[in-house]
A and B are shown apart, each in its own frame.
Chain A
Amino acid sequence: MNPATTPLDLGEAEVVVVTYELAGVRGDELLPAGLHQTIPTLLTITAWRAEGIDMLQLRLSCRAGFRARTLLVGGAVRGAFADELAEGWAYPERRADVGITRRYDRVRVDVVDGSRTVLSVGLDDPRPISPHDIQHIVGLNLGAINGGGKRLIQVEPHLEAMRAERGEPVVAAFDASWFGDARIAPVHPVAATIEVGHLMLPPPRFALRPDVPAWEGTETLAR
């Protein structure tokens, strides 16, 4: 990858976040040595739908130094911006159909690879909440900068949400092996939200070495 130096405006977007706790595995068994686990470790399943991009991200809660972060551990993407997001921000490259379906009583996110549904999650009985009640935690995406050593790229998508709803989290299908690690699977439900707003991706500012603590391995990226 080559970190982006200009922002990417994705326009109006729908963002669904479904959060579960993992079970049977500790965060420090899943995270690189430079990150710290939270107890419990949360799996956030995040879907974006915007003009030119349908993306799903699996993220694990963690800490980089004193900062709350989420580590990208899997995903799927389709759309015109897919290559640009992978190249500039180290977002997922694996192609699959990612869909968000909204009804008054439920919201569903489906990931379909060919004819196979590898993920179906969402929220039941969505109720309006204030967009200010939702905390989006800054992400870390693993990528090799200019073909060099692997780095955790700090990504800070900014969603200017106009409305938000919270509902009961639902998992109807989750093929952990398709996403690459059978240990990473949603077990205990926490929360689920959908937001509509303006999604902007500023260029990455920091890259972290995954093998050492953040205060030893944080690099500032050229803008």
Chain B
Amino acid sequence: MKFGVFFELSVPTPFSRRAEQQAYLNALEQAVLADELGFDWVWAVEHHFLESYSHCSSPEVFLTAVAARTERIRVGHGAVVCVPEMNHPVRVAERAAALDILSGGRLELGTARSSTWTELGGFGTDPDLTKKTWDEYVRIIPQMWTQERFSFDGLSCHVPERNVLPKPMQDPHPPIWVTVTTPGTELDAADRGLGCLGVAAVTFDEQERRTAEYHRRIELCDPVGSVVTNAVTTQNFLYCHEDMDIAAHRGVRMAGTFSLLNAQLLWTREAFPTSAYQSLGNQATRAAKETGAPGERRQVPEGTAIGDPDHIIDAVRQWESVGIDGINFILNTVEAIDQPDVLASLRLFAGEVMPKFRSR
């Protein structure tokens, strides 16, 4: 079992320049500590215009700063939005290769297509096309990384023959993942030989079903690159404290704040009718009309890593039992937990929980 930390770079309101900077600096400090403690990955999202929820619109800059301050931990895009209005495919390949070089070959490239109208509408992107352009990106980026002469004429770009530079340090190229929100995307990942970077709340049973199908399908995959990334990760919250009550109080508040901010996002399906977006966001467990009582509180998902070390060990074991290869943790939301407490939680997890899964 591998462990990662996952950053949205959420910022508390009222906004200030200082609060934004502090969110970045705190995340950097957490990433550096995660490296020292033996975590495997640090991931950063790419989001645009999502006030408070995520101010991480230039993850390559944040991840470069992480890479410069760390020695061992792998740095991951979680994920680059693969629509041409936001990121030209050549620029994605160039920036990622540069980050791979500067990190000493520690890059993981997550790919995505964005879920919100806030972002797609903000860049004038046609939601009908994002699956098609994403599919082009994951096929042509490995070519740009490995071929001396690259050319392409497609929906996402028209590139006459060029040598896309630099080439990444990892040979033949870094691992490629896709973020999985909507059921079925794990099959897209498997068919293309991509890692499955889970970013949605999923039950144990559902995760077990999806993971089994992913592993069955990837054995038959037609890889889009020269590297098959056969791995499934899930996303979780982490707050570890010796006192279960304190852990629950702080951790549940953090998770609840995240879920509430997430619920405020304007999902593409809500604004723009299209078959390309079937669910209302990554915290909605089904594409229902959500006709229930507005007063219902959303429950903390099962298997959440909030509690004392024994509780979290049990949760991680459950994830391990359904075939998960790694868990990526959200450590804080809008600074709901004080930074010293976040760092203490990371240390306690690394001291008491992580060793239980390192020799297995």
Contacts and interface: CB of A to CB of B under 8 A. Distances in A.
Contact of A69 (B49, B118, B280, B294): B294
B263 A134 contact: no
A134 B273 contact: yes
Interface in B268-312: 269-275, 280, 283, 289-298
A68 B280 CA distance: 9
A135 interface: yes
A203 B271 CA distance: 26
B50 interface: yes
Interface residues of A, number: 42
Given A138-B289, A215-B297, A217-B295, A63 B270 contact: no
Interface string A142-166: 0000000000001010000000101
A108 interface: no
Nearest to A195: B273
Interface string B251-270: 00000000110011111011
Nearest to A136: B289
Contacts of A135: 269-270, 273, 280, 289
A138 B291 contact: yes
A214 B296 CA distance: 8
B205 to A, nearest CB: 22
A171 interface: no
B239 interface: no
Given A215-B294, A215-B296, A218-B295, 20 more contacts: A19-B272, A38-B270, A40-B121, A63-B263, A64-B294, A66-B297, A69-B294, A129-B274, A133-B274, A133-B275, A135-B280, A135-B289, A164-B273, A188-B121, A190-B117, A208-B295, A214-B294, A215-B295, A216-B295, A218-B293
Interface of B: 49-51, 117-118, 121, 259-260, 263-267, 269-275, 280, 283, 289-298
